[in-house]
Amino acid sequence: MNALKKLFGGNTRQFGMIFALVALVVFFQIFTEGRTLTPGNVINLFNGNSYILILAIGMVLVIIAGHIDLSVGSVAAFVGIAVALAIRDWNLPWYAAVLFGLLLGALIGAWQGYWTAYVGIPAFIVTLAGMLLFRGFNQFVGKSNTIPVPADFQYLGSGYLPEIGPSTGFNNLTVLLGLLAVAFVITGELRARRTAKALGAEVPETWVMITKLVLINGAILYATYLFATGRTGTSFPIPGLILAVLVLIYGFISAKTVVGRHIYAVGGNRHAAELSGVQSKKVNFLVMMNMSILAGLAGMIFVGRSTASGPFDGVGWELDAIAAVFIGGAAVTGGVGTVIGSIVGGLVMAVLNNGLQLLGVGADLTQIIKGLVLLAAVAFDVYNKTQGKKSIIGLLMKNFGGSGNNVPTKPDETTSTKEVISKEA
Amino acid sequence: MATLETQSEPVILEMQSITKEFPGVKALSNVSLRVKAGEIHAICGENGAGKSTLMKVLSGVYPFGSYSGDIVYQAEVQQFKDIRASEAAGIVIIHQELALIPELSITENIFLGNEPTRRGVIDWAEARRRSLELLARVGLREDPDTPIKEIGVGKQQLVEIAKALNKSVKLLILDEPTAALNESDSQHLLDLILGLKGKGVTSIIISHKLNEIEQIADEITIIRDGKSIETLNVKADGVDEDRIIKGMVGRTLESRFPDHAPTIGDVFFEVKDWTVGHPQVQDRLVCKGSNFHVRRGEIVGFAGLMGAGRTELARSVFGHSYGRFISGHVYVDGKEVHMRSVRQAIDAGLGYVTEDRKTLGLNLLDDIKTTTVSANLRKISRGIVVDANKEYAVAEDYRKSLRTKTPSVNEGVAKLSGGNQQKVVLAKWMFTDPELLILDEPTRGIDVGAKYEIYGIIQQLANQGKGVIVISSELPELLGLSDRIYTIFEGAITGVLNKNEASQESLMKLMTSSRKTA
């Protein structure tokens, strides 16, 4: 027990969410008699959820800033069909079509950001309107038809890393990617440790670090093995690759850059942020715009995967993305949340979905179970906070460099009578 | 002291040795108040003296049993368990923050919670008829169907009184009734209170505006530090403002200040004709043509009662972060600068530490190091990337130099005590390297030991040749800390006193009247 505590930074619940994910995977692995952790299923799981996870990345930033975006499904659908039409009617090559889709997303985001940030209409209303607007646009420009996309565009949503190099029985590129990830994790940890030492901050003991690295890298290598040994022609999927790149970029932006700091600051206390010189309107505009760009990307990946764009693409995606973010530890009031947390939250939902499907549980029961999981995850978090303990998710996220500190309520010293009175009253 | 000289006049209210404690603080200790029927009785005291607490005890906000002592009202000991109980007895309190609902009409507001019904259905015809009567009594000529938000604060105050009259009020308590009103509205209200007196309504009025009190009050009870000091009869004792002030501030200086020998340089920061409108109310001014300047190495105090416009002045100068800017100029080192946003103000060398640490000063979700660098991220960033190592190092430096008590700079600011939170906020602004630091109530809610340290930090900043403005409600603090003190009253600067000529009495006088002496 003591060893575990040291491993996880003094609190075994620190990795609660990841434990939950691992436990869920193990549970389904056992009860589906090994059908969960097969190359085919894992590849499927990533392919089928990458667009929701991409939405969750944008959504967590929106939610950290204290807003919400209900329009992502409709925006994704509209961008998807606009891109499909552009390819069909204007003969755009796939890369130009992607660029066009991203620009359209940006334009839509600028529209929503304008109303939210500069006019001051709550994002809930703006994006509720957007949900109707862009669903309508999708069906208007597509005349409620399904528009197919060519094969090179489909690669975006259903492609795999190609087979190159010597025949090793593995997909070489996937293996290379896995090894790169391992190297990245190890050097990153070592560097962080070195600078922490140089600054005189406390560092965990060596064995703790080694065990941690072994666990993380073991997971990465196992995943690499699964992805690299799939049925011929499959390997690490392109949507997964896009997702991984986005997670790295947005994880970095949110935790390490000025703009990331400003997003947390505006969501945590807008007035205090403004009085510190943060331009909160600009920040709000940017997060809303970014969300729509990512929604456009998600829409295009979905179209690529399903080979065509239809009038009912993306229905209900906003709810999946929002659920992922909240399971991942974000706070409704803003200021709290991380990109990694939201991805883990999204994966919990995805594994749940997939596992229940494999077990042959109906869609009705699946929804009920997902609803309860969402409620339980957030309730657990709220309970922990009111108990004055750190939220597990908050602790978990702290480890990933985000500012996910949760505030235990502790009475402050008050010496002036007036303050005491105003508190009493 | 001529107090309670005549026992023959009927007494409507007698509060006998009221003591009210909050955890750790004795808000009222043995306070006695005796109000004669049909008079206007004023209660005076500094901010935080206990006036409002006393009125909350009287009106049942703090229910019977939460205080000790007796309330004798109309010759009976009362045990009010809530506001409804005191209202039923004819005691109505009108708070400084009006309790009206902006979207509802005058009639709806007057009868809110007290609606006339006929067979369970609200009888609006009856309500409207009665509200017309009530409006006539308070001298308000408005259509009773007008929504509250469409009439000014002065008229809203009259609606509150009409609402009180509807409850057949016998004892009316007004908490700072004229604080938000302009002069003509104030006068109208005072006349109305006098008129009600003629009709047998007894009033208790709490006000910082001593000239008004002198004008309408029959008796004045002075409260200081939670104790009732004296009761004065305005006519018999020949009470004037000076007499009231003497009673209000008559305490010895208790706070201690670090020794400090100022080295004051030239004027480097100057504000001229600064006029700012209220952010919501169209033609109300919160700053009226203010002029002030700060010299290098100088600690300048801003004295004024709550709501006088000190914070409004500071925040509007700090990048127009409050109110509607109307006119005015700011000069730094003789050159005019325009600060239209907080960013520009910070770039121009200003810093502002807010009076409201929790809602305006801190993101309580952040940790110490994040907060420390939050107003000057540029300095620790390469391009857009925040250098976490520099961040840690900077926060560590300030933790050591300001002696912030915390296990590490990775701790959340919410966990710190008020004094240590304030040190983190000070560190945040010191890190922006301001030429002029404005501190709004820098020691509010902070214990004595930490206060001393904060005074030391302020003096240190001045020693480095920076200008410091300190806004404070605590006069001893201003007197102990400042080299020069401006007084503000109703949005206008009413005077400036050097350290050697300032006293609590002279400041209080300037803070409560529009008389110009400088």
pLDDT tens digits for B410-445?
888 887 877 888 899 999 999 999 999 999 988 876
Is the predicted pLDDT of residue B387 greater than 50, yes or no?
yes
Is the predicted pLDDT of residue B499 greater than 60, yes or no?
yes
Query: Which chain B residue lies closest to A269 (C-alpha atoms)?
Result: B363
Query: Which chain A residue lies closest to B51 (C-alpha atoms)?
Result: A418
- Rounded CA-CA distance B438/B445 in Å is 18
Is the predicted pLDDT of residue B373 greater than 80, yes or no?
yes
Rounded average pLDDT over B148-153: 84
Q: Does A364 touch chain B (CB under 8 A)?
A: no
- 3-state helix vs strand vs coil in chain A, percent to 5: 70, 0, 25
Sort out which chain B residues have CB atoms less than 8 A from A418's CB and list them: 47-48
Angle among Cα A146, A147, A150 to the nearest 5 degrees reads: 140
User: Of the candidates B513, B466, B9, which has an alpha carbon nearest to the alpha carbon of residue B219?
Assistant: B9
Is the predicted pLDDT of residue A421 greater than 60, yes or no?
no
Sort out which chain B residues have CB atoms less than 8 A from A282's CB and list them: none
Sort out which chain B residues have CB atoms less than 8 A from A336's CB and list them: 365
Q: Both tokens of residue B46? A: 């500094």
| Phi, psi at B40, each rounded to 5° | -105, 120
Rounded average pLDDT over A322-343: 88
Same domain? B410 vs B501 = yes
Q: How far is CA A167 from CA A81, A103, A161, A174, A316, in A?
A: 40, 41, 15, 13, 43
Of A8-22, A99-113, A147-161, A359-373, the range with the highest mean pLDDT is A99-113
- Rounded CA-CA distance B468/B436 in Å is 6
Shortest Cα distance, chain A CAs vs residue B110, angstroms = 24
- Residue B397: burial class (beta carbons within 10 Å; 0-12, 13-18, 19+): middle
Query: Is residue A388 very low, low, confident or very high in pLDDT (cuts 50, 70, 90)?
Result: very low
Same domain? B78 vs B210 = yes
Task: Tell me which of A68-82, B54-68, B253-267, B386-400 is least confident.
Answer: B253-267
Query: Is residue A420 very low, low, confident or very high in pLDDT (cuts 50, 70, 90)?
Result: very low
pLDDT at res. B309: 87
pLDDT at res. B514: 59
Same domain? B159 vs B188 = no
Rounded average pLDDT over B152-181: 86
Same domain? B359 vs B477 = yes
Q: Across the interface, which of A275, A336, A414 has its CB nearest the CB of B342?
A: A275
Q: Which CATH number is correct for A18-159+237-424, 1.10.3470, 3.40.50, 1.20.120, 1.10.8?
A: 1.10.3470
Q: How far is CA A214 from CA A182, A186, A225, in A?
A: 10, 10, 16
Pairing of strands B11-22, A308-309: unpaired
Same domain? B11 vs B100 = no
Query: Which chain A residue lies closest to B352 (C-alpha atoms)?
Result: A275
Query: Which chain A residue lies closest to B415 (C-alpha atoms)?
Result: A410
- Answer for the pair A248, A171: CB distance below 8 angstroms, yes or no: no
Task: Tell me which of A367-381, B244-258, B428-442, B473-487 is least confident.
Answer: B244-258
Domain extent, residue B124, equals 96-169
Q: Across the interface, which of A198, A259, A277 has its CB nearest the CB of B342?
A: A277
Q: In this structure, is residue B517 part of a structural domain?
A: no
Same domain? B365 vs B495 = yes
Sort out which chain A residues have CB atoms less than 8 A from B396's CB and list them: 199-200
User: Of the candidates A78, A68, A56, which has an alpha carbon nearest to the alpha carbon of residue A296?
Assistant: A78
- Rounded CA-CA distance A154/A157 in Å is 5
Q: Does A275 touch chain B (CB under 8 A)?
A: yes
Query: Is residue A386 very low, low, confident or very high in pLDDT (cuts 50, 70, 90)?
Result: low
Is the predicted pLDDT of residue B292 greater than 90, yes or no?
yes
Q: Both tokens of residue B344? A: 């520009």
Write down the mean pLDDT value for chain A. Answer: 84
A257 in helix, strand or coil? strand
Same domain? B201 vs B307 = no
Task: Tell me which of B132-136, B322-326, B512-516 is least confident.
Answer: B512-516
Chain position carrying tokens 């869609």:
A363
Residue B220's CATH number: 3.40.50.300
pLDDT at res. A253: 93
Sort out which chain B residues have CB atoms less than 8 A from A201's CB and list them: 392, 408
Same domain? B313 vs B396 = yes
Which residues, including other chains, have CB under 8 Å from residue A214's CB and lie 6 or more apart?
none
User: Of the candidates A294, A274, A273, which has an alpha carbon nearest to the alpha carbon of residue A339?
Assistant: A294
pTM of the predicted structure, to 2 decimals: 0.75
Q: pLDDT for A125-164, tens place per residue? A: 999 999 999 999 999 999 989 999 999 999 988 888 888 8
Pairing of strands A308-309, A147-148: antiparallel
Task: Please report, as a single letter, which amino acid is at residue A282.
Answer: K
Which residues, including other chains, have CB under 8 Å from residue B336's CB and lie 6 or more apart?
B329, B330
Same domain? B175 vs B232 = yes
Contact A405 B412 (CB under 8 A): yes
Is the predicted pLDDT of residue A395 greater than 60, yes or no?
no
Q: How far is CA A323 from CA A242, A317, A413, B278, in A?
A: 21, 10, 38, 42
Same domain? B317 vs B291 = yes
Q: In this structure, is residue B257 part of a structural domain?
A: no
pLDDT at res. A75: 97
- Rounded CA-CA distance A407/A367 in Å is 32
Of B4-13, B141-150, B242-251, the range with the highest mean pLDDT is B141-150
Is the predicted pLDDT of residue B362 greater than 70, yes or no?
yes
Rounded average pLDDT over B21-35: 82
Give the total number of structural domains in chain B: 3
- Rounded CA-CA distance A333/B363 in Å is 12
Same domain? B144 vs B278 = no
Which of B116, B146, B169 corresponds to the end of one domain? B169
Of A182-186, B23-27, B118-122, the range with the highest mean pLDDT is A182-186
Length of chain A: 425
Q: What is the residue-wise DSSP string for A287-326?
A: HHHHHHHHHHHHHHHHHHHHSEE-TTTTTTHHHHHHHHHH
Same domain? B149 vs B209 = no
Query: Is residue B123 very low, low, confident or very high in pLDDT (cuts 50, 70, 90)?
Result: confident
Write down the mean pLDDT value for chain B. Answer: 86
- Rounded CA-CA distance A262/B485 in Å is 37
- Rounded CA-CA distance B310/B317 in Å is 11
Q: In this structure, is residue B262 part of a structural domain?
A: no
Query: Is residue B252 very low, low, confident or very high in pLDDT (cuts 50, 70, 90)?
Result: very low
